[in-house]
Each structure stands twice: as structure tokens, then as C-alpha cells.
Structure 1
Amino acid sequence: MICTLMVSMMLCISCDNNDDDTSRGNWTDRSVFDGTPRSNAFSFMIDNNGYMGTGYDGDDYLTDFWQYDMNGDFWVQKAAFPGTPRSSASAFAIDNKGYAGLGYDGDNELGDFWEYDVATNSWTQKASFAGTPRYEAVGFAGNGFGYLGTGYDGDNDKKDFWRYNPTTDEWTELVGFGGQKRRGGIAFNLNDKVYLGTGESNGLFVDDFWEFDTATEQWTKLRDLDDDDDYRVMRSFGTGFAINGLGYIATGYNVGAIGTVWEYSPGTDTWEEVTGLEAAIRQDAISFSNGTRGLVLLGRTGNLYLDDNYELFPQEEYNEDD
């Protein structure tokens, strides 16, 4: 009875996401994840297929690895991640290969790094991350390279960034990021630029927001996430994705799990709230995006671990009956 009441309350809180002036944005449920409900998985996208693996289910750290076919709306289990079971790993994709590593195994921060070959459904261990082992770091790719930075190494929140060269299997430290230290931040790619923000450090939510040019590897500071009194973008452990030239930050943690979604316009450097996730509020979710479609899935709310999967249609008018 208590569990049923708790779930009902969380679902009602999710409904409150739509009890404001937000009238744009609609959600449609997609194929529920076939595996164990979990939070803190890693994910990356190749063509129209999303890939995700590892994570924590409330009892165990995991190694299973899955493909989601966005066009067909179904799941296929793939070769398991061969490293130590973990959560809060980081990942990115370059061409037709995915890369994943770092994370936390319940006792130790990790720094190993692995390559997944879609064509052969196989994993190969690569050069370990050159920074300190850590988890809750941000990963992204651009211009043929991968990038990892920020996170928590067991002693300190971090703000360093490293470039990975898949051709030489080498890591190089970058300079020039003037932002705050953070764990649990997000990044999304838009038009050959990467946008990075959110997260927390020293018990506070960070408010800075940055653009990274993958061609020049230069950082540009943008408007703070609390620059406008109406903005409620700040959070940690959310997820970020892009749809048709606009960026989205969804779900996460701010005093508690949240379901709100904010849309970023790079042309004006402004934010607008759209319909919140029409499901249980959550943190530690993942997202899939191919540039024209975006989905939010998995995560947890309190001790409830989730396996649901929802697609956002941000330009549709909100319809509570969908």
C-alpha cells in the first residue's frame, strides 16, 4: 500500500509539470526497455540506433549492453560491456564506433576506456583515460575526436577536459575551459558546436553555460542559466539532446527529482520551458537523439528504478489525452 501510494504521488507530481502556462510540447511513449530498470547508464547514438549499457538497478552494478532501433521502436541485446560492472560512466560515438569508460563500481572510481564496433558487435579495450579516474563526467564528440571532462574523482570535483584521438589511441589535455567544476553536468551537439552546462559542486547547482567549437577547440561563455528570473534550468543529473537545431535539457535533480524540460535556442542564447516529461519525475536518465528526434528513458525517482521510454515532439501543442 505504501509503495503504491508513493508511486501514485510521484506520477501526480509529474503531471504538475503541465499545470502551468506551458502549452507547447507533447510526449509519446515508446517501446519499454527490455532489460532491467536502472539509472546512471551510459548512452551514445549511431545513425538511427541508440546504444546504452551498464548502470545501477538498486542492488547491482551492471554490464549488459543494448541497441534501440529508433525507426522500428524495438530493443536488441548486444555483446556485454567487458569492463568492471559500473554506473555513471561516460560515452560518445565517432563514425560507426562507440566509446565508453570511466564510472564507479561501488568502491572505486574508474579510468578504463573501451571501443564498441557496430559491424562486429565486439568490444576492444583502448588506452585508459589520461586524467584522474572519475565518474559523472561529461562526454561528447566532434570533428573526428572524442572529449571527456568534469566529473568527480573521489576527492575533488573536476573541470579539466581531454581529447581522445581514435586514430592514434591517445589522450591530450585541453586548456581554455573557464567554467566551474561540476559533477552530473550535460552536453548536447548543435550545428558543429557543443553546449555544456548544469551540474553541481560544493553542494550548489552551477549556473554557467558554455559553447565549445569542435573545429577550433575554443570555449565561449554564454548567458548564465539563471540570467532571467523566469529560468528554472539549473539542475544536476539531467540529460541533454538536440532536435532540429534546438537543444533540450530534461529531468534531473533540484532539491528532488524533477521532470521539467527546457528548450535552448542558439541563435538568441535564450531558454523556453516546454511540456515536462509526461511520466514519473526522475534523475539519472539517459536520452537518444539523431538530430531530428529525441527520447528520454530510464533513470530513477527515489528508490524506484525505471525502464520506460518517451519521445518528445516539442513543436506540437500539448495534449493531455495523448
Structure 2
Amino acid sequence: MLEVGVLEWSITIGVIVALLAIDLLQAWLRPHKVGFKEAGLWSIFYILVAIAFGVIFGLTQGWTFGTEYFAGYIVEKSLSVDNLFVFVIIMTTFAVPDKYQNEVLTFGIILALIMRAIFILLGATLLNLFSFMFVVFGLLLIYTAIQLYRHKDEEPDIEDNMVVKGARKLFPVSEEYHGGKLFAKVDGRRVATPLFLVLVAIGGIDLLFALDSIPAVFGVTQEPYIVFAANAFALLGLRALFFLVKGLLDRLIYLSTGLALILGFIGVKLILHWGHVDISPSIPEIPTPVSLGVIVVILTIVTVASLMATKKDPSKTAKPGSLKARKPQQSEQQN
């Protein structure tokens, strides 16, 4: 079992908070359109930070735990790319000006980190108290995988999101942005701005992704410290990655299929682990190095196949996938 003291937790959280502060200060103090070069440099920086942490962690705690960290990091990073798809849709749906996209993304990342920290504590507690939670998490991932594969060519309906609809009922919403304000006065009446709805939509999406990603990473490690670190370092580079791959995302047409396969595989791994521990040692387990290899192979095949397919037919465009069928628009229903 991994032994991590208060000092290690404090240093890790301190580093993450410091990196988040840098991101936040950049977004709020200097709102601007992020160029390809700037996004590329920051993306490389965050990836190198995550790798450096993994190497130091592996050298100090052993490469069994080091491998679990890298497997968890890759799982979370791949799921985060799908998260970016939805961020793009939200930005497009609400026509967020370029200069505000920076701060919106930073808010989304901070909120995602907070939600995942809560679910990590909850998930670890449940797994320690009730071993059958491995089966529950496994079935949840398999169900998610099936739904994602069934609706792999669809986009989530942001306006139909329960959280967004609730916000619209609570507050009148202005048609235009008012600088970087969440609320403004229009004709003497206090109204919410579209930027407020954007943050509400991203919060709802973050909650949904946290519900999926935490069981997924618990499939490769049951150590809360590794789960937290893998999530944190995967999320930290999202802001820069958004601007770096925004154009490339449209070309990853098989990403949803790949993620569905990964989630289904990890779901099976969780159920096998429960069977091995609670039913019979003769039930095989899937070792973490094998899981890491399977995940890397799936992502590699998905990326290469997507780029080849879109090169052959540039009209093909990727979709982030959805967990439920998109409702027909009102005009379609009338027809």
C-alpha cells in the first residue's frame, strides 16, 4: 500500500495551486486571444511537469505506483480531450468572444479539479467500506461506454442541459455580453449575461465528466493520492491544449469510439478485480502495465486512423459523442 504523508500531500497540492494561480493570473490580468505558439509552449510545459512528477514519484515510491500514475494520467488526459470537445461546443453555442475564452477555460479547470477532488474522497471512502462498489463502478463505466458508442456521432445539447435551463428560469438573461461581467443592469433591471450561462454550462459538464472519470481512474489504481495527482496534472494543461488543438479536434473522428473502448475495458477490469479479491483468486486480474499498454494502443490507433480518414475525406468532422440521443429541434418536430 502506498504511504504518503502530510508533507507529500502538502507539497503536491501546493505545486498544483501555484500552477493554477499562474493560469488564473494570465487569464484574468491579460485577457487576449491565445496564439498557436503560446499554446504550444504552455502545453509542452505542463506535459513536462506531469512527466517530471511521474518520474520522481516512480523513483521514490517504486515503479509499480509510478506505472499506475502514468496509466491514470493517460486515461484522464484522453477523457479531458473529449471534455475539450464539449468546451468548444459551449463556446460556439454562446458565441464567447476570443478574449474571454481564456478566463472561461481557467474557471472550468478549477471547477473540474474541485469536483473531482470531492468525488475522489467519496469514491475512495466507498471502495474502502463496500467492496461491491468495484462492481458498481465497473457497470457504470460499461454503461457509459455503450451509450457513448451508440451516440458517438452526436453532440450534447447544451441548451437542453438541466443546469442551464434552471439558470434561465432563475435569472433573466441579456442578449449581449457586457465586458467580462456575469451580471449587468439593462434598462434598470439586473440581468445575467451570456458569460454567466457559459460558466453554468461548463459547471454542469464538469460534474458529468467527474462522474465518469473518477471510476475510470480507480480502475487503474485504488490509491487516492495517485488518483488525485493524475487528475490534477491532466487538467492543468487543458487551457493551453484547448487553443493548441481546437482545429485538430475536428479531425479526431474516431475519438469517441476509442474512449468508449477504454471505458468499457476499465469497467471489465474493475469487475475482474472484485471477483479476484472477493470471490476467487482463480479469477484473473488485468495488471496495470497491461492496462497502460491497451490504453496507449487504442489511443494511437484511434488518432492515426482519424487523421488518415480525414485526410482522405476532409468533409468528415468529429463529434464529441453524447450519453443520450439529442432531442429534435422544435422546427423538426413541427415538420
> Which TM-score bucket, shorter chain as reference?
under 0.3
**More helix, by proportion:** 2
Mark the structure with the bigger radius of gyration: 2
Q: TM-score, normalised by structure 1?
A: 0.25
**More strand, by proportion:** 1
Q: TM-score, normalised by structure 2?
A: 0.24
Name which structure has the greater RCO, CA cutoff 8 Å, separation 6+: 2
